């Protein structure tokens, strides 16, 4: 399955069932993260109406860390609700995500709880973010409606477009697990070099995260950057050892 709907801390059993029904309409799977209502709740089953099988098969995840193994692209659905976008994953369009699906990439759409949506920290664990355009003065949508609208806009049953040739795998964006490995290595290297220092260091690193994700590096580019960072880390380590040695007092000459 290339498309999965991930519901985070869903409270309303009716939303859970209706989201499962929408997922079945468009050929997606359902996964739950920290659900606040049981799958067999009578309202969940009633609202699923025809998608009870999908609801029963919904997987419960332990944390966001499990998503990279199950999806190449982890996309958050959020209106941001007045929050600043600086330091958050870059925005993408439904057309871009549809294109990824047509290329066979596994996509996870992450929806936050009814009472506030995804937190800022949860948004930062995703690769990109999608927004369903609504009236600015009333941007919030019911959770199950959001799931249905998002899946419809992705048009998973659209006839595949003619391709002039087989896409080169090296030109495809790297999977989320590869990008996370690059981000971790990048942060480690910056830290060993003493950057960005104290104060707003975490916010600075989040902005760098956003910049790197926005670039959508390919698997080959990730490999090249990891090699460059490894070389830089070794150089920094050698320099630090040299500086420490130079700072040691010279031994007194033998009498």
34-84 tens-digit pLDDT: 999 999 999 999 999 999 999 999 999 999 999 999 899 999 999 887 788
Q: Comparing C-alpha atoms, which of 37, 15, 29 is closest to residue 59?
A: 29
At residue 163 the predicted structure's pLDDT band, cuts being 50, 70 and 90, is very low
pLDDT at 186 exceeding the cut of 60? yes
Q: What is the pLDDT of residue 170?
A: 58
pLDDT at 20 exceeding the cut of 80? yes
- Beta-carbon contacts of 84 under 8 Å, excluding residues fewer than 6 positions away, are none
Other C-beta atoms closer than 10 Å to the C-beta of 160 total 6
SS3 73: strand
Q: What is the pLDDT of residue 40?
A: 93
Residue 29 has which token pair? 């799977």
The structure's pTM equals 0.74
Range with the poorest average pLDDT among 164-168, 228-232, 237-241: 164-168
Alpha-carbon distance 121 to 126, whole Å?
9
Q: In what order do the strands lie in the sheet with 59-61?
A: 59-61, 29-33, 3-8, 107-111, 73-77, 128-130
Alpha-carbon distance 91 to 79, whole Å?
11
The third-level CATH classification (topology) of the domain covering 173-247 is: Helicase, Ruva Protein; domain 3 (1.10.8)
Q: What is the pLDDT of residue 251?
A: 56
Greater confidence (133 vs 235) lies with: 133
At residue 129 the predicted structure's pLDDT band, cuts being 50, 70 and 90, is very high
Say which CATH class 3-154 falls into: alpha beta
The sign of the CA dihedral 51, 132, 13, 83 is positive
pLDDT at 160 exceeding the cut of 70? no
Domain boundaries, the chain: 3-154, 173-247
Q: Share the mean pLDDT of the chain.
A: 85
């Amino acid at each position: 399955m290339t498309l999965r709907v991930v519901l985070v801390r869903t409270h309303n059993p009716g939303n859970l069932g209706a989201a499962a029904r929408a997922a079945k309409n468009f050929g997606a799977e359902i996964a739950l993260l920290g659900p606040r209502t049981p799958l067999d709740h009578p309202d969940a089953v009633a609202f699923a109406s025809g998608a009870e099988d999908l609801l029963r098969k919904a997987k419960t995840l332990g944390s966001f860390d499990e998503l990279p193994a199950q999806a190449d692209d982890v996309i958050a659905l959020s209106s941001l609700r007045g929050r600043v976008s600086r330091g958050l994953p870059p925005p993408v369009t439904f057309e871009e995500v549809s294109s990824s699906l047509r290329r066979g990439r596994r996509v996870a759409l992450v929806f936050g709880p009814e009472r506030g949506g995804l937190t800022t920290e949860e948004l930062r664990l995703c690769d990109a973010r999608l927004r369903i355009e609504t009236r600015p003065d009333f941007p919030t949508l019911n959770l199950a409606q959001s799931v249905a609208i998002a899946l419809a806009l992705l048009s998973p049953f659209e006839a595949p477009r003619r391709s002039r040739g087989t896409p080169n795998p090296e030109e495809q964006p790297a999977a989320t697990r590869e990008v996370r490995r690059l981000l971790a290595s990048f942060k480690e290297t910056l830290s060993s070099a003493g950057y960005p220092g104290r104060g707003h260091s975490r916010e600075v690193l989040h902005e760098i995260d956003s910049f790197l994700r926005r670039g959508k590096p390919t698997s080959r580019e990730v490999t090249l950057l990891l090699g460059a960072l490894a070389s830089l880390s070794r150089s920094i380590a050698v320099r630090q050892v040299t500086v420490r040695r130079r700072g040691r007092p010279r031994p007194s000459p033998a009498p």
